[in-house]
A and B are shown apart, each in its own frame.
Chain A
Amino acid sequence: MADMSLEKVKMPEQDPETRIRNFNEVALGYTEEMAVKESHRCLNCKTRPCVAGCPVNVQIPEFIRLVSEGDFERAYEKIKETNNLPAICGRVCPQESQCEKFCVRGKKGEPVGIGRLERFVADWYMANGDMDIQPVPKNGKKVAVIGSGPAGLTCAADLAKKGYEVTIFEAFHVPGGVLMYGIPEFRLPKVLVQKEIDTVRKLGVNIMTNMVIGKVLSLEDLRNEGYEAIFIGSGAGLPNFMGIPGENLNGVYSANEFLTRVNLMKAYKYPEYDTPVSVAESVAVVGGGNVAMDAARCAKRLGAKNVYIVYRRSEAEMPARLEEVHHAKEEGIIFKLLTNPVRIVGTDDGWVRAMECVEMELGEPDASGRRKPVPKPGSEHLLDVGTVIIAIGQSPNPLIKSTTPGLETQSWGGIITEEETGATSLDGVYAGGDAVTGAATVILAMGAGKRAAAAIDEYLGSK
């Protein structure tokens, strides 16, 4: 008989006062008892609406039933049938708009904590399971994967499981893409990303770092080296700026730069690590997405007293996950909503001194369906800050596009693909993830990597 309590079993967290002084993970995960208790809330419905909500089709009721039986090892194997990176998904997936959104239990009370259970199972297995994987015999066909973020890792792992000889080319010195440079340690510990990547390596996937495709090798070079199919998962690495005066002052960062310094280069451990980052007493983060929340929470942990989120619409339109907004508020981040920067003001020697903002009000709905913010005349005011972080989105990196004749892209840079397969305008070349959609989520990128792997298998199988 299912446990009919209306709320999820709570997951322990570091309390806000403590966690703003460290970079350790905020959410601490379920114990075995908590996980089993939560698993009993699942009704194991026949219609399985949750599975349809998952971009990689995790067999949710099945794995939860195994958790309820205390068989965590088989629960892990069940998840791994379709998801190559469960410890990551259990942490950063927006479950509230995917699997949990469709959970029957959510109609009255909270849905089953599917994400929390997935995380528990993955963590349990990393601690107790046998991480040895036997690679499948090779079929002699080579596939190149560009980028080692969630899309590339998923595509590579799925193809390796089918016997393809897969090489991932990564531009940075470590694999992981946005999982390493973008998402902070306190949301996604890097040791864990490393372990998930190790499992992909154990499948026989070769990862070459420091390889900037488009520069060191072109797609044509890859073909000449014998790669019969290519998957582009190069992400959305090009930071957008606002184009307002003062954006080149010292102390203005793109969120990409700020987060890369902090996460990938570990500037939060400076001077033990050599890469510095500069955070003033007051910091403004412009934008309302998850990246903005991450940047704001990093700034707080780096010692900033006042951290502002400056967002031109209202909280209802914020693209960030509710959980992230909630965590940010708990940590004392100050939300300046319906506020838009018009210029950044500098000191005589060129450092940020303040940001001039204007108040906004919501007008008619725009193309995105959200009410369009319009400035209130005469509402200009100065926000005293010494650091400004621009987190208003990223576009796909143009390096590959600009060196690959015939690869068709949208006007904003996204690679044009066939949705179901990821096939691009070039024969044998597939793409997926943020390089196609613009900045989106880890799980959508994984879904695209998965579909492309299936399409590549079909393409090469018929060759």
Chain B
Amino acid sequence: MYKIVRKEVLNPAVKLLEVEAPYVARKAEPGQFIILRISEEGERIPLTIADYDREKGTVTIIFQEVGKTTSMLGMLEEGDCILDFAGPLGKASHLEGVRKAVVIGGGLGTAIAYPQAKKLHELGAEVDVITGFRNSGLILLSKELKQVSSRLFITTDDGSNGNKGFVTDVLKKLLEEGNRYDLAIAIGPLIMMKMVSLLTKEYGIKTVVSMNPVMIDGTGMCGGCRVTVGGKVKFACVDGPDFDGHEVDFDEAIRRQAMYRAQEKRSMEEHVCRLGGVRNG
């Protein structure tokens, strides 16, 4: 059992949990993920490590409540326990030797982009950060990102923070103005990572994306997380989750993500029904 020592509500749909997991904390690096399960009947879901504290022995996860498991996870409070918490899984990001980087986070992806920006900053790189959200109420980690970036650009789809547009609009402008980077890191919805990769390819900027496909074990055993990269089949759990954005077959990844959409919807609806029952009961 893994105890929750801190909980924060970052926006109405996004929560942060700091979890006691000393073994994981000892080895965790940016780019890696954990797999958790919260009940005997629960599924195993992968979540990227948002932060870790080796001394305290804690690992922080940030997640959006999109389905039954993440909703139930969001209902846990400080002092509650997570049943299973395995990691750190996947390969750590290679950030050494980068002088100037642009880190792009879309929505919840911002939470995963943060440890990468932080690590780059600690390694002495100059870091521009671009984040995008649907509206200003959903903006995440702006304070934290400000501390680790040279420049922070925050866009919203509806312009409610006074800066309307997509992350790619900002990136395009920066590139057109002559900014050049050794590395671009894009983390967010598949379509966003695809658009960023298409743009950076024109400028020949090495781009790393973080894939988050459906998976069960996270150790290379099921192969459910297959991603085609440069024409070769890779397992995101052990070969990734970071891949070269210019090589990833995003259209296939988008399709594969829809594999259990009907079941995910059904689980969520039944979950909400049961909750309603309890509340009204």
A residues touching B (Cβ–Cβ < 8 Å)? 171-173, 209-212, 215-217, 237-239, 241, 247-248, 250-251, 253-254, 256-257, 260-261, 265-266, 269-276, 278, 349-350, 397-399
B216 to chain A, nearest CB (A): 6
B94 to chain A, nearest CB (A): 16
Q: Report whether A248 and B85 are in contact in the complex, using a CB–CB cutoff of 8 Å.
A: no
Please measure, in the bound complex, the distance between the C-alpha atom of A209 and the C-alpha atom of B44, giving whole angstroms. 14
User: Which chain B residues lie closer than 8 Å to A173 at the CB level?
Assistant: 37, 44, 83-84, 86
CB neighbors of A among B210-248 (8 A): 216-224, 226, 228, 233, 238
Closest to A217 in B: B23
User: Which chain B residues lie closer than 8 Å to A273 at the CB level?
Assistant: 41-43
Sort A-B residue pairs by CB-CB distance and give the 4 closest, nearest first: A276-B263, A257-B222, A350-B255, A210-B86
Within the complex, which residue of B24, B86, B263 is in contact with A171, where a contact is CB–CB below 8 Å? B86
Q: Report whether B43 and A250 are in contact in the complex, using a CB–CB cutoff of 8 Å.
A: no
Q: Report whether A260 and B43 are in contact in the complex, using a CB–CB cutoff of 8 Å.
A: no
What 17 additional pairs, Cβ within 8 angstroms, besides A241-B223, A265-B43, A274-B68? A173-B37, A173-B84, A212-B86, A215-B87, A215-B88, A237-B219, A237-B220, A239-B221, A247-B233, A250-B258, A256-B221, A256-B223, A260-B221, A266-B41, A274-B42, A350-B252, A399-B238
Q: Report whether B23 and A211 are in contact in the complex, using a CB–CB cutoff of 8 Å.
A: yes
B221 to chain A, nearest CB (A): 4
Closest to B259 in A: A250
A337 to chain B, nearest CB (A): 26
Q: Report whether B266 and A271 are in contact in the complex, using a CB–CB cutoff of 8 Å.
A: yes
Known: A271-B267, A350-B255. A210 touches B220 (CB 8 A): no
User: Which chain B residues lie closer than 8 Å to A397 at the CB level?
Assistant: 219-221
Q: Report whether A211 and B86 are in contact in the complex, using a CB–CB cutoff of 8 Å.
A: yes
Closest to A174 in B: B84
User: Which chain B residues lie closer than 8 Å to A270 at the CB level?
Assistant: 263
Please measure, in the bound complex, the distance between the C-alpha atom of A215 and the C-alpha atom of B88, giving whole angstroms. 6
User: Which chain A residues lie closer than 8 Å to B267 at the CB level?
Assistant: 271, 274, 276
Please measure, in the bound complex, the distance between the C-alpha atom of A178 and the C-alpha atom of B255, giving whole angstroms. 30
User: Which chain B residues lie closer than 8 Å to A253 at the CB level?
Assistant: 224
Q: How large is the interface on B (under 10, 10 to 19, 20 to 34, 35 or more residues)?
A: 35 or more
Between A and B, 25 residue pairs with Cβ closer than 8 Å are A173-B37, A173-B84, A210-B85, A211-B86, A212-B87, A212-B89, A215-B88, A216-B23, A216-B26, A237-B220, A248-B233, A248-B252, A251-B259, A257-B223, A260-B217, A269-B41, A270-B263, A273-B41, A274-B41, A274-B42, A274-B68, A276-B260, A276-B263, A278-B263, A350-B252
User: Which chain B residues lie closer than 8 Å to A215 at the CB level?
Assistant: 27, 87-89, 219
Label chain B's interface by main secondary structure: mixed
User: Which chain B residues lie closer than 8 Å to A210 at the CB level?
Assistant: 84-86
Please measure, in the bound complex, the distance between the C-alpha atom of A60 and the C-alpha atom of B19, giving whole angstroms. 51
> B156 contacts the other chain (Cβ, under 8 Å)?
no
Closest to A266 in B: B41
Please measure, in the bound complex, the distance between the C-alpha atom of A251 and the C-alpha atom of B258, giving whole angstroms. 11
Q: Report whether A241 and B233 are in contact in the complex, using a CB–CB cutoff of 8 Å.
A: yes
Closest to A172 in B: B217
Please measure, in the bound complex, the distance between the C-alpha atom of A260 and the C-alpha atom of B226, giving whole angstroms. 16
Q: Which of B26, B223, B260 has the most CB of A within 10 A?
A: B223
Please measure, in the bound complex, the distance between the C-alpha atom of A275 and the C-alpha atom of B88, giving whole angstroms. 22
Closest to B83 in A: A173
A7 to chain B, nearest CB (A): 41
Please measure, in the bound complex, the distance between the C-alpha atom of A275 and the C-alpha atom of B263, giving whole angstroms. 9
Q: Report whether B219 and A254 are in contact in the complex, using a CB–CB cutoff of 8 Å.
A: no
B125 to chain A, nearest CB (A): 26
Please measure, in the bound complex, the distance between the C-alpha atom of A44 and the C-alpha atom of B265, giving whole angstroms. 62
Closest to B39 in A: A274
Please measure, in the bound complex, the distance between the C-alpha atom of A269 and the C-alpha atom of B41, giving whole angstroms. 9
Q: Report whether A238 and B263 are in contact in the complex, using a CB–CB cutoff of 8 Å.
A: no
Q: Report whether B256 and A278 are in contact in the complex, using a CB–CB cutoff of 8 Å.
A: no
B1 to chain A, nearest CB (A): 10
Please measure, in the bound complex, the distance between the C-alpha atom of A247 and the C-alpha atom of B223, giving whole angstroms. 11
User: Which chain A residues lie closer than 8 Å to B222 at the CB level?
Assistant: 239, 254, 256-257, 260
Please measure, in the bound complex, the distance between the C-alpha atom of A53 and the C-alpha atom of B238, giving whole angstroms. 39
> B48 contacts the other chain (Cβ, under 8 Å)?
no
Known: A237-B220, A256-B223, A260-B217. A272 touches B41 (CB 8 A): yes
Please measure, in the bound complex, the distance between the C-alpha atom of A253 and the C-alpha atom of B219, giving whole angstroms. 16
User: Which chain B residues lie closer than 8 Å to A265 at the CB level?
Assistant: 43-44, 216
User: Which chain A residues lie closer than 8 Å to B264 at the CB level?
Assistant: 276
User: Which chain A residues lie closer than 8 Å to B88 at the CB level?
Assistant: 215-216
